[in-house]
Each structure stands twice: as C-alpha cells, then as structure tokens.
Amino acid sequence: MKQRKASPGSAGADCAKPARARGRGACSNPQARFESLRHGAEDDGWTTADAEAPALQTIVSVERARSVITRNRSPDIPFSQSVNPYRGCEHGCVYCYARPTHAYLGLSAGLDFESRLYAKDNAVQVLREELSRPGYRCEVIALGTNTDPYQPIERRWRITRSLLELLAECNHPCTIVTKSALVERDLDLLARMAAKRLVKVFVSVTSLDRVLARRMEPRAAAPQRRLAALAALAAAGVPTGVLVAPLIPALNDTDLERILDAARAAGCREAGYGLLRLPHEVRDLFEEWLVRHYPLRAAHVLSLLRQARGGKDDDPRFGSRMRGEGALADLIERRFDGACRRLGLQRRDLDLDTSSFRPPCTGGQLSLL
C-alpha cells in the first residue's frame, strides 16, 4: 500500500471507463463533478467488454485536518455531531451515498472513492482541542457516518482506535456504525465504555447472500462474519444494533426479516433500516453496476425505486429521504415494524450518558492545577 501527501485535484485524469477491476464495487471512474475538462474512452479493439483489469492499488494520502467534528441539523438523523477519521472508503459499497463527496477533492465518485483514500493522521490532536474548548457542549459523537471507521486501512493507521482512547479518557459517549469485523479488536475499550453507558455499536448487514454482498460491498466483511462480530460485542456487554440499509427493492429487500432474525440471535437489541438513496453520481454508478451484474432485473429495480421516490431517482427532502413514500415504502415499514415487535427489537436509540464528560487535558499549564 503506497502512502503520499495529499494533493487534491490531481485525479480525474484516469477517468476513462476501465475494464472490470477485481475486488472493487464501482464499474468505472467517471469524471469528477466539478472538473471543467471531459475525457472519453475509445475502444482500440484489443480488449473485450468483459475484460478484467489488473487489481487496482489502494493509495493512502495524509490529510492534516483543521477540524474533525461535523455538526448535523437534519431531523432524519439521530445524532447531532460526527467524526470521520478517513475520506473515501475501501469497502467499495457501490450504493454509498458518500461517494459524491470525493468530487470536492477533484476526484471521481467511482473507483477513486474506494482506492484513493485520505487518512486524518492528526484527528486525535484536533479532537482533543475541540473537546477542550470552553463552549463545548457534550453530545453523542457518531463515528462512521460518511465512511467506515474500521475499513481495511484502519489496521495500519489505527486512527479510530486512538479516537476511542481519547473519548474513553474523558468519558465522552459515542456510537459506531461499521461493516467490518475489525471492531472486535477494540473490545477492551468498548467493554469499559459500555459499562459506563458511553458507547453503542451498530453493524450494517444488507444481505445474507454472500454472492450479492460480495458484489455490492466487495471489501467489507462477509455477512456471517458481521453477525459473529455482533455476537462477540454483545457477549462482552456492548449494546449492539443492526442496520438493514440500504434496502433495494427486488434485490435485497426479501432478506429484511431474515437479517433481523439473525441479528436478534446474535444479541442485538436495536435495529434500523433505510431505503436506497441515489444522490448525484451514485445514480449512474449504481445503474451501471446493476446492468453489469443483474441485467434482467435492472429496469425493474430502478422502476420500483422511482415509485418510492415520487417518480424521481432521488428525493432529498427531510422526512422522506430515508424511508421513501408510497405503497412500497409503507409496506417495507410495516414489515420492519412487525418483525421488530415479534423479536423484541427497539428502534435505533442513541440514549447514552453525557453527564460524566470531563474535558480532556490539552497539555497546557492549567493541566497542572
């Protein structure tokens, strides 16, 4: 894995549609949204449409963050602030709503998003400063809202681990959302925080079909491995939940009840779900993926999604963007609610203790008092 200093805006040159890249979710690397130049691919006759390109190398750049806490005021999201230790995500989930954010770096939402990553190596120092400010008000911090905090590069960079150590030091509550079994590595920290009502861990499971999961989320843990991680967390006393998101009509929605059954058996007490969103570039990337992997189903899947989005590809309105609207969205919600009642699962809840927070030591003179 190569490392280099960040140079936003330098990508986009390799925006031509490549042959299918092994171990990646996106099928192409379209032009970055804000780039003025446009490039196109030409077939020279030496390759076929199904040719497989060499494995795409992951490149990690260092980003010096000026701030790490992102504030949220959306009524659809149950947290008010979040921290993301990385930009981009190697898991390569083709449907990821965060893909378009790479455009702000001059990079593609396609293969760039999952192979050209940024690690905020000073995230802990910056967070320590932000938590120490006189006007800081303790509210639950969500880890992993834009990209997975336990994606494969965390094994080496350990930024998420360091952030948890800081939060544990000052009794600051947090939640984690991940698709990775690497979360088990930090059971020592998580168990201690859970004993003080300072943490909950939610694992996203989109399908129990290993083939479908590998195609949608090529570098995330297998569904059964995620369930095993949930069981290990629950056994250690860490409150856990499952997120069945995104649900994609005619593709993985039939797995809804089975996923909830399996998660409850693994010790989960809470659950949530969300309908697939297709903002900006994600719409074309997802349609391209559908046509490649499920050509006979592609038109039907997209038609059902539009029915649940008022005839549009995406509906960003608060109140409907997560669940959709219409008969299909209502049916999914009834199925989810019915399964949760049957299993005794509660809706996703971020009720954690904020009263024991103490600002962390910044190393200044006042720390001696």
Q: What is the DSSP string of 132-164?
A: HSTT----PEEESSSS-TTSTTHHHH-HHHHHH
Query: Is a pLDDT exceeding 90 seen at residue 53?
Result: no
Greater model confidence, 76 or 18:
76
Tokens, residue 283: 């719409």
Residue 12, pLDDT above cutoff 90: no
Nearest-angstrom CA–CA distance, 224 and 205: 9
pLDDT, position 285: 97
CATH architecture of residue range(s) 60-352: Alpha-Beta Horseshoe (3.80)
Task: Say whether pLDDT at 351 is over 70.
Answer: yes
How, if at all, do strands 116-120 and 86-87 pair? antiparallel
The residue among 3 and 183 whose pLDDT is bigger is 183
Tens digits of per-residue pLDDT, 119-169?
Answer: 999 999 999 999 999 999 999 999 988 999 999 999 999 999 999 999 999
What would the pLDDT profile of 215-225 be if each residue is shown by its tens digit? 999 999 999 99
Q: What average pLDDT does the chain have? A: 89
Domains of the chain, by residue range, sit at 60-352
With contact defined as beta carbons under 8 Å apart, do 313 and 320 qualify?
no
> pTM of the prediction?
0.88
Segment holding 335, helix H or strand E: helix 326-343
DSSP per residue over 175-242, as a string? Answer: EEEES-GGGGGGHHHHHHHHHTT-EEEEEE---S-HHHHHHHSTTSPPHHHHHHHHHHHHHTT--EEE
Can you state the angle between helices 223-235 and 256-265, rounded to 10 degrees? 30
Question: Would you say how long the chain is, in residues?
Answer: 369
Q: What's the whole-number mean pLDDT along residues 202-206?
A: 97
Closest C-alpha among 206, 207, 264 to residue 231 = 264
Residue 149 contacts residue 143 (beta carbons within 8 Å): yes
Q: Which two tokens stand for residue 298?
A: 């592609």
User: Which strands make up the sheet holding 116-120, listed edge to edge?
Assistant: 2-5, 59-63, 116-120, 86-87
> What is the rounded CA–CA span in Å between residue 181 and residue 217?
14
Cα separation, 85 vs 60, in Å, equals 13
